[in-house]
Amino acid sequence: MVWLQNSSGGRYDWGTDAAHVRGIQKFTTHQYLNAIVLLASALAVAHHSERAAA
């Protein structure tokens, strides 16, 4: 686990526990990530097709 000190003397937890997602949040997060990857892939294919046609 990684701890970082903030300016007021408190600590921020930037370890795996801070990024841990459970239950429906895990499912929703996974779906959002899938949608982002799908969109990025579609944009890359469209850009490649546009350049190949020119």
Rounded to whole angstroms, how far apart are CA atoms 33 and 42? 14
Read off the pLDDT of each residue in 14-39 and give the average, rounded to a whole number.
80
Q: Note whether residue 37 is domain-resident.
A: yes
Average pLDDT, the chain: 77
Token pair 């795996």 is at which residue?
16
Instruction: Give the range of the structural domain holding residue 42, as residue numbers without chain letter.
Output: 21-54
Q: Note whether residue 49 is domain-resident.
A: yes
Query: What does pTM read for this prediction?
Result: 0.54
Q: Note whether residue 2 is domain-resident.
A: no
Into how many domains does the chain fold?
1
| Whole-number percent of the chain with pLDDT over 90 | 33
- What does the longest C-alpha to C-alpha distance in the chain come to? 58
* Continuous segment of H or E residues that includes residue 45: helix 23-53
